[in-house]
């Protein structure tokens, strides 16, 4: 999706994907699959409180979000103090790295971020990032993400499963087959799922017959 689409979304008071509390899948599985001595990459991080949860638990999350409204709101709402540095990129864009001792948040287009900026990651938490992108962008997303993965990386990937003819997305409908196709080097395993039908008025309005949030683990 283009910047304008998300900017419209961030102009509204509330965003349906934003959660007031840390995601239950993350809370349940983080200790089992992630270690505190390695950074956790959180692509397309919005103003997610998952970043705060991770840092409070002693992990070091590295978020990337290209919308300044989202990043500024995150910093204000969470009352964070950061040091900041700017990095120019060849295409004329600018990246800004906000960081403190407990986390790092980049105001940057995901596709502009390279290993030179953030290093490589063994741990990735992708909630509403891969599924926020249309099919035409998902191969580029997966391929770019792979350039930022260290050997033996683990991705915890949260997707949504619904009848594709009942909603057009985002969130886009992603199948297990597509995940295997986009990450053929990895092993993919479904860890758990739960119904979201009662979780937000938006899903009720759409009268979906089912809507599950699904957690996959991709291991390389």
Ligand X SMILES: C[S@@+](CC[C@H](N)C(=O)[O-])C[C@H]1O[C@@H](n2cnc3c(N)ncnc32)[C@H](O)[C@@H]1O
The residue nearest ligand X at its CB is 46
Q: Smallest gap, in angstroms, from Cβ of residue 133 to ligand X? A: 7
If one counts every other C-beta atom within 10 angstroms of the C-beta of residue 12, the result is 8
The residue from 55, 67, 154, 182 that contacts ligand X (CB under 6 A) is 67
Residue 33 CB: number of other CB atoms within 10 A?
Answer: 14
Q: Which of residues 28-47 bind ligand X (CB under 6 A)?
A: 44-46
What's the closest the beta carbon of residue 175 comes to ligand X, in angstroms?
19
Q: Which stretch binds ligand X (CB under 6 A): 24-32, 63-71, 75-83, 183-191?
A: 63-71
d(CA 179, CA 175): 7
- Say if residue 37 is exposed, middle or buried (CB neighbours under 10 Å; 0-12, 13-18, 19+): exposed
The distance of closest approach from Cβ of residue 197 to ligand X in the complex, given in angstroms and rounded to an integer, is: 19
- Residue 155 is a binding residue for ligand X (CB under 6 A): no
Site for ligand X in 71-100 (CB under 6 A): none
Kindly tell me which of 42 and 179 has the beta carbon lying closer to ligand X: 42
Instruction: Kindly state whether residue 6 participates in binding ligand X, applying the rule CB under 6 A.
Output: yes
CA dihedral 120, 71, 99, 133 (to 10 degrees): 0
Closest by CA to 184, choosing from 140, 124, 153, 142, is 142
Tell me the closest approach of the beta carbon of residue 118 to ligand X, in angstroms. 13
Per-residue contact string for residues 104-143; x = within reach of ligand X by CB under 6 A = -----xxx---------------xxx--x-----------
Before 128, cis peptide (omega within 30)? no
In sequence order, which ranges of the chain are alpha helices (DSSP H)?
3-11, 24-33, 49-56, 68-77, 115-118, 135-147, 176-182, 201-205
- The answer to whether 48 contacts ligand X (rule: CB under 6 A) is yes
- β-sheet bridge partners, residue 156: 125, 217
Residues that bind ligand X (CB under 6 A): 6, 17-18, 44-46, 48, 64-67, 70, 109-111, 127-129, 132
């Amino acid at each position: 999706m283009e910047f304008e689409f998300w900017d419209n979304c961030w102009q509204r008071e509330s965003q349906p994907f934003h959660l007031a509390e840390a995601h239950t899948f993350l809370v349940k599985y983080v200790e089992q699959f992630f270690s505190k001595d390695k950074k956790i990459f959180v692509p397309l991080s919005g103003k997610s409180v998952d970043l705060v949860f991770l840092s409070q638990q002693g992990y070091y999350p590295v978020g990337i979000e290209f919308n300044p409204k989202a990043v500024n709101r995150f910093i204000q709402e969470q009352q964070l103090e950061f040091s900041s540095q700017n990095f120019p990129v060849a295409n004329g864009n600018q990246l800004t790295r906000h960081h403190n001792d407990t986390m790092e948040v980049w105001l940057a287009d995901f596709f502009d971020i390279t290993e030179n900026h953030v290093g490589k990651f063994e741990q990735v938490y992708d909630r509403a990032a891969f599924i926020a992108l249309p099919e035409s962008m998902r191969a580029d997303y997966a391929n770019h993400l792979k350039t930022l993965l260290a050997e033996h990386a683990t991705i915890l990937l949260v997707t949504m499963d619904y009848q594709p003819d009942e909603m057009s997305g985002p969130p886009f409908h992603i199948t297990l087959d597509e995940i295997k196709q986009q990450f053929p080097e990895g092993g993919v395993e479904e860890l758990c799922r739960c119904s979201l039908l009662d979780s937000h008025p938006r899903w009720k309005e759409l009268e979906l017959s089912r809507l599950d949030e699904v957690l996959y683990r991709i291991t390389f």
